[in-house]
Amino acid sequence: MKKVLAVVMTAVLAAGMTISAFASEDLADKKIALLLPGSIDDQGWNATNNAGAKAAEEELGVTIDVVESVPAEEYESTFTEYAEKGYDLIMAAGSQWDESATVVAENYPDTIFCAINGQISDFPNQIPVFPKEYEGSYLAGIIAGYTTENGQFAVTGGQSNDPMVKLMDTYEAMATKIAGERGIEGAAATRAFVDSWTDVSATKDLLSSMIDNGADTVFCYSNEGTSGAIQAAEEKGVKFVGFSADKNGESDCVVASVSMNWAAVYPTIVENILNGSWTGKTDIGVAEGVFEVIETDQISEECHAALVDATSAISNGEVDFEQFFGGAAETEAE
């Protein structure tokens, strides 16, 4: 059995001073919905957000109606449907919901719209919560840098967007930096996108090709597609760094996972939005407990120590992440 260690990141989210009509009301009376672009069984983004909703229900005594697998062409109409039903808070998991939330929010000022991983706040009732994923990928990059033997990193994701590019820039910068510090010459990352979050076969084929081209350490940020990346790594005999969800149990090729611990922060998100403490766009990250590093016994003491130090540095605001954005990794298309 694998020995699992954890770098635990805990903190209390700061509450603002804004008072709203919700402040004196019982949260249990609120009508709340969570819209998901995929299945709660995807072992990734949708599953972890669903876990967050369940944690909020248990801790706050609220009921959250979870709507799975909403197709992109129905984002706006689904927001409208629940706003028409008088829901107080409609949450949606993913930056892809931002534009639809903006369109609908203007017409339903009594409903709060919250895109998890969103960044647009054009109206007072539009309150996105943005996880600083590049903080998590900074930690994942450290793991990769200490894992690789040849300094060649395969990096892939479901689709390209601004947050995805920034987290990959950060991961690649740290992975190659650590590899170089370990004396590995010519450390480099190759990046590619599958253009699908769910296609296991396509993700596996893409990663297999990248491994054949020399990569010995794999990173994949996707939903169901991540399983294909892990299959490729296992079959090719290379290592995998998990991200967004705990992937340690899928294969011995997974050395560690940087999981988004939405179950720890969703209660705070729901409470602070509904009681009026949060307004506008709110950024959360390592300091707020969003990311949890779950190690296996493949992680060295040196790597573990580096992760502890990095977690502290990020929490204390000592890392300049802007320096990493706009990286020059070689990019492939499927």
How does pLDDT run across 256-285, given as a tens digit for each residue?
A: 999 999 999 999 999 999 999 999 999 999
Helices (H), 182-279: 200-212, 225-236, 262-274
* 2 part of a folded domain: no
Do 51 and 38 lie in a common domain?
yes
* 5 part of a folded domain: no
Q: Mean pLDDT for the chain?
A: 90
Do 269 and 229 lie in a common domain?
no
Flag whether pLDDT at 329 surpasses 80: no
pLDDT at 332: 39
Do 170 and 115 lie in a common domain?
no
Flag whether pLDDT at 205 surpasses 50: yes
Helices (H), 61-108: 75-84, 98-105
Q: Give the separation between CA 334 and CA 328, rounded to whole angstroms.
A: 19
Do 142 and 124 lie in a common domain?
no
Q: If you average pLDDT over residues 51-67, what whole number do you get?
A: 96
pLDDT at 217: 98
Flag whether pLDDT at 2 surpasses 60: no
Q: How many domains does the chain have?
A: 2
Flag whether pLDDT at 215 surpasses 80: yes
* 247 part of a folded domain: yes
pLDDT at 45: 86
Flag whether pLDDT at 243 surpasses 70: yes
Query: Domain holding 60: CATH number?
Result: 3.40.50.2300
Q: If you average pLDDT over residues 175-186, what whole number do you get?
A: 97
Which residue, 156, 193, 186, 159, is CA-closest to 171?
A: 156
pLDDT in tens, 110-145: 999 999 989 999 999 999 999 999 999 999 999 999
Do 182 and 231 lie in a common domain?
yes
Q: Give the separation between CA 135 and CA 83, rounded to whole angstroms.
A: 34
Do 71 and 127 lie in a common domain?
yes
Do 176 and 114 lie in a common domain?
no
pLDDT at 155: 98
- What confidence tier does 83 reach under pLDDT thresholds 50, 70, 90? very high
Q: Domain boundary residue among 252, 272, 288?
A: 288
Is 194 in contact with 158 (CB distance < 8 Å)?
A: yes
Flag whether pLDDT at 293 surpasses 50: yes
Flag whether pLDDT at 20 surpasses 90: no
Q: If you average pLDDT over residues 179-192, what whole number do you get?
A: 97
Do 194 and 321 lie in a common domain?
yes
Do 146 and 64 lie in a common domain?
no
Q: Is 102 strand, coil or helix? A: helix
- What confidence tier does 206 reach under pLDDT thresholds 50, 70, 90? very high
Flag whether pLDDT at 65 surpasses 70: yes
Q: If you average pLDDT over residues 62-78, what whole number do you get?
A: 96
* 268 part of a folded domain: yes
pLDDT at 25: 54
Q: If you average pLDDT over residues 191-218, what whole number do you get?
A: 96
Q: Tell me whether residue 331 is exposed, middle or buried, using C-beta atoms within 10 angstroms of its C-beta: 0 to 12, 13 to 18, 19 or more.
A: middle
Backbone angles phi, psi at 66, to 5 degrees: -95, 125
Do 188 and 127 lie in a common domain?
no
pLDDT at 24: 35
- What confidence tier does 161 reach under pLDDT thresholds 50, 70, 90? confident
* 23 part of a folded domain: yes
Is 117 in contact with 161 (CB distance < 8 Å)?
A: no
Domain that holds residue 125: 13-132+264-288
pLDDT in tens, 303-316: 999 999 999 999 99
pLDDT at 327: 64
List, as one string, the DSSP characters of 120-157. ---STTB--EEE-HHHHHHHHHHHHHHH-SS-EEEEEE
pLDDT at 162: 87
